[in-house]
Amino acid sequence: MSKKIFLSVFFACFGITTEVFFVAITNLIKQTPYCNEALWSLTGKTYVWMLPIYALIPIIAGPIFKKVGTWNILLRLLSYTTLILIVEFCAGFILEQLTGKCPWEYTTGWHFMGYIRLDYTPAWMFFSFLIEYLYLFIDKNLKTS
């Protein structure tokens, strides 16, 4: 398997898993159970549409990580988060045009047109930090066949 395919599959799985954990923990904190499950069941969810979106991480962000590696960490994380918000907005808009509905339709928090939530910026910054670290680690240590 090529390195690019491995990275895409890895980040698709990592993104989906992270999102399910985030939703479950957020629901616990906000005391809003999902699917009538007990709060402590930590039930989370995501959308099948997210698999190809998260798989784009190494394709879109991979080249950027290497170019901005010398920047201040805060500037890098703000740049990555801005990129995430742009991709999330575009993906939500495109999915709504194709299917008639954006799967994640935000109606609370500081949302913009229901496609992105600006109050999730700290979470996206943390996610960006993890992604940058994992991408650079895997890219450096994975041997290609």
pLDDT at 97 over 90: yes
Where in the sequence is the domain holding 99, given as residue range(s)?
3-141
In angstroms, rounded to a whole number, what is the distance separating the alpha carbons of residues 89 and 93? Answer: 6
Q: What pLDDT score was predicted for residue 108?
A: 87
pLDDT at 89 over 80: yes
Residues written for the chain: 145
In angstroms, rounded to a whole number, what is the distance separating the alpha carbons of residues 78 and 83? Answer: 9
* Single pTM value for the model: 0.83
Run of H or E residues at 116 = strand 116-117
pLDDT tens digit sequence for 36-49: 777 677 778 888 88
Query: What's the number of domains the chain is made of?
Result: 1
* 131 confidence band (pLDDT: 50, 70, 90): very high
In angstroms, rounded to a whole number, what is the distance separating the alpha carbons of residues 49 and 51? Answer: 6
Is the distance from CB of 19 to CB of 53 less than 8 angstroms? no
Q: What pLDDT score was predicted for residue 140?
A: 87
* 145 confidence band (pLDDT: 50, 70, 90): low
Name residue 29's amino acid: I
Distance linking the first and last C-alpha atoms of the chain: 7
Range list of H helices, the chain: 3-30, 50-55, 57-60, 62-67, 73-99, 121-141
Q: What pLDDT score was predicted for residue 103?
A: 86
* 104 vs 11, residue with greater confidence: 11
In angstroms, rounded to a whole number, what is the distance separating the alpha carbons of residues 102 and 82? Answer: 20
* 1 confidence band (pLDDT: 50, 70, 90): low
Backbone angles phi, psi at 106, to 5 degrees: -75, 130
